[in-house]
Structure 1
């Protein structure tokens, strides 16, 4: 359950400054870890620019299943690392 302002304040008053600092560092560390685990997703224009392919090539590769993509509602997004890996393993060429 989430702490209310009152109960969070009560908890903080029960902790020593060292314990409070340790808690803050643990929370910051956990947040940083979770953020680093999230994939950076980019649009088709951005992935075209990153790979030196045309948007038409990206559209064709997406349609053919040559590169991985993620659908978020109506948007199609790409993880650059996954796309580069797929291209290296025989996906579309950038000729």
Structure 2
């Protein structure tokens, strides 16, 4: 392979990796989720205590997938 061909392949791989990283979902902390769904931290803590939100536990850390939380809240509001 020529250096040009190798560089073309490397660029294509770099573009694919960048696309996959851009599409990856990011997990949020309590503070970030409260801002996203526009509730106070005490209200969010109440929702957590009452098991109203889907959570991801990593050790003692509680994280949230914002897409799952929003879908869960939307489904809950339709049922109410």
List 4+ stretches of structure 1 deviating above 4 A. none
Partner residue, 1:28: 14
Which residue of structure 1 lines up, in the alignment, with residue 39 of structure 2? 53
TM-score (norm 2): 0.74
Bigger mean CA deviation after superposition, 54-63 or 43-52: 54-63
> Which residue of 1 is the match for residue 4 of structure 2?
18
Cα offset for 1:37?
4.1
Runs (5+) with no aligned partner, structure 2: none
Partner of 1:3: none
Q: Could you say which residue in structure 2 is the equivalent of 1:38?
A: 24
Computed over aligned residues only, the root mean square deviation of the Cα atoms, in angstroms, reads: 1.9
1:9 matched residue in structure 2: none
- TM-score, length of structure 1 as denominator length: 0.65
Aligned residues: 77
**2:50 & 2:22 partners in 1: Cα distance?**
30
Structure 1 unaligned regions, length at least 5: 1-14
Higher relative contact order (CA 8 A, sep 6+): 2
Larger radius of gyration: 1
